[in-house]
Amino acid sequence: MASLKEKLREKIEEHRPRTQRLLKEYGDVVVDKITIAQVIGGMRGVKSLVTDISYLDPNEGIRYRGYTLPEVFEKLPKPKGSEMPFVEGLFSLLLTGEIPSENEVSDVVDEFRKRRIVPRYVYEVIDAYPCCSHPMAIFANAILTLHRESFFAKKYAAGINKLDYWESTYEDALNLLAKLPEIASYIYAKLYRDGKRIQSDPNLDIGGDFAHMMMKPKPYDDVARLHFIIHSDHESGNVSAHTGHLVSSTLSDIYQAISAMINGLAGPLHGLANQEVLRWLQGVKEKMGDEIPSENEMKQFVWDTLNSGQVIPGYGHAVLRKTDPRYSIQRDFCLKNMPEDPLFKYVDLLYKVVPPILKKQGKAKNPWPNLDAQTGVIQWHYGVTEYDFYTVLFGIGRSIGIAANIIWDRALLYPLERPKSVTTEMLEKIAGIK
């Protein structure tokens, strides 16, 4: 049986001529046009990136390598006694486009296990952080600290053929991904558990080991698997994925690229929204003295937030125009496992009241919830109540998709990213104002 790396090598060799042909024979074919609104407005919707790892349809939601999320959850092999698949299997699917067999997943699980030991200096860097630092800042820095381990950087310095860039990037990617659960759980222990660290268990898969290090009993292992899988990839234009790709396009190594993308994910309009949802809900809960608000009371809280010029966290999306399937999967999980959770009742009430209000207000192009509206309530239910930490969990998952993308970026020799800017005066001339 071919290893993941050998299988990937075959896929890369098959794929390279397709990219070369497009470039050489069809390089002048127009893909898209761009308007002034798009130039000023954050390039919304401009088709200017390529990835084969996932595709986001505005109405259907994300597909990983052509599979919808329910298909991914149904088809990927699962650990014995678990409802959720191996995260390692998802990585294999994202890299190769094929659903791995049980044996193949077990090899990938072994690969990750071998690489999970975190060097001591990383703990020292985390320990040196002053209290009250946000865990995302610590996480980004801990990842960057590992830059000295980069095989790619060493090979590049020694002189390496471009066609081989992907191989050392692959090694860096696996080495980093295997360490992220332990780095994250160590940050959790430092900030919220008086430094009480639990060592990684080499007999467990990523999801099981993370639950073990977080000291959370079953089914938190499945919660972790679910979480990491649904957060892994959302095509290439979102801020975290785009940042990872952009930074890596300079041939920075994967530690530098993933650390940078973590900082992009840390913004409240992106990954931090999951923390903001919980903060918002806690505010409502405090005002209600722990009572579940009536529909009218909840509507009033939503309007008060909008009227004070703030966004409703967890709602809206730059691409999606329907309820995010990542939201629906988590909602189904809640309905099955924790239907009576009081916070879930708040979240479900919001699902009823927010979309009509956002429609009535008429600003948001998408009034429906995104994944961040549900994430925190599940973590809270299973005892991770420190909501500052939620975006770190997102970061572990998102690193998997971005690492897969960066390996392919290198394999297909995507060049340095360098769009062109114009001045406001130039735009005025183009508009015919001047």
Active site residues: 270, 317, 372
Assess 360 for contact with ligand HAX (CB under 6 A): no
Handedness of CA 298, 303, 308, 313 (dihedral sign): positive
Please, is 271 exposed, middle or buried when counting C-beta atoms within 10 Å of its C-beta (0-12, 13-18, 19+)? buried
Count of chain residues binding ligand HAX (CB under 6 A):
21
Residue pointed to by tokens 């209290």: 131
Check binding of 316 to ligand HAX (CB under 6 A).
yes
Q: Residue 8 is encoded by which pair of tokens?
A: 């990937």
Choice from 312, 334, 378, 403 touching ligand HAX (CB under 6 A):
312
**Tally of residues, the chain:** 434
Q: Which region, left, alpha or beta, applies to residue 411 given φ > 0 means left and ψ of -120 to 50 means alpha?
A: alpha
Does the footprint of ligand HAX cover residue 372 (CB under 6 A)? Answer: yes
Report if residue 270 touches ligand HAX, rule: CB under 6 A.
yes
CA 128 to chain centre: 27
Minimum Å gap between C-beta 32 and ligand HAX is 17
Binding mask 139-168 for ligand HAX (x = CB under 6 A): ------------------------------
Contact between 377 and ligand HAX (CB under 6 A)? Answer: no
370 binds ligand HAX (CB under 6 A): yes
- Please, what's the b/e burial string for 69-106 (b: 16 or more CB within 10 A of its CB; e: otherwise)? beebbeebbbbeebebbbbbbbbbbbbbbebbeeebbb
> Is the CB of 92 or the CB of 370 nearer to ligand HAX?
370
For residues 244 and 316, which CB has a smaller minimum distance to ligand HAX in the complex?
316
Candidates 11-19, 173-181, 205-213, 267-275; binding stretch for ligand HAX (CB under 6 A): 267-275
**Is 100 among the residues that bind ligand HAX (CB under 6 A)?**
no
Report residue 422 as tokens. 């114009």
Residue 260 contacts ligand HAX per CB under 6 A: no
Q: Applying CB under 6 A, does 363 fall inside the site for ligand HAX? A: yes
Give yes or no for residue 375 binding ligand HAX (CB under 6 A). Answer: no
The residue within the footprint of ligand HAX, chosen from 79, 85, 271, 397 (CB under 6 A), is 271
- Of 318 and 338, which CB lies nearer to ligand HAX in the complex structure? 318
Q: Point out which span in 50-58, 156-164, 269-277, 413-421 binds ligand HAX (CB under 6 A).
A: 269-277
Out of 318, 338, 412, 413, point to the residue binding ligand HAX (CB under 6 A): 318
Instruction: Find the part of the chain contacting ligand HAX (CB under 6 A) among 56-64, 87-95, 265-273, 343-351.
Output: 265-273
Minimum distance between the CB of residue 335 and ligand HAX, rounded to whole angstroms? 22
Residue 273 interacting with ligand HAX (CB under 6 A): yes
- Of residues 193 through 252, those in contact with ligand HAX by CB under 6 A are 238
Amino acid (1-letter code) at residue 358: L
The strand pairing partners of 54, in sequence order, are: 64
Please list the residues that pair with 433 across neighbouring strands.
none
| Single-letter code of the amino acid located at 137 | A
264 is a site residue for ligand HAX (CB under 6 A): no
Which residues of this protein are in contact with ligand HAX, per CB under 6 A?
44, 238, 269-271, 273, 306, 311-318, 363-366, 370, 372
